[in-house]
Amino acid sequence: MLFDSWFSYPAIIIEIFKIKLKTVARLKKTKNIYYKFEGEKRTLNQIYKSKRKRPERSKYLLSVIATISNDKGNTLDAKLYLLEIEIIRFLYVRSLSTI
């Protein structure tokens, strides 16, 4: 299932995965959503700042595996991407895909 950042909350992504659908979604840049990465709860910005790649070395800036969870304690591993749009410098697209 493909959707925009408006619907990309961990609870929704986990429910979609339960009905056996894969997800590709843009992610919101927010301080309210945390991802479990390297044993700690972190925001997207915290993850990207700790694992940033050099842009000239890759088509995408970063790709990591993180765990999302909902209020019921369900968890799901997902791949987080940070992509840079070439036409507009320093405009980044944050996206997620379920594995």
Give the model confidence (pLDDT) of 2-42 as tens digits: 888 888 889 999 999 999 999 888 888 788 999 999 999 99
CA distances from 54 to 51, 59, 83 (A): 10, 10, 12
The DSSP symbol for 38 reads T
Q: What is the pTM of this model?
A: 0.77
Q: Where are the domains of the chain?
A: 2-98
Two tokens, residue 50: 């700790």
pLDDT in tens, 67-96: 999 999 999 999 988 776 655 555 566 777
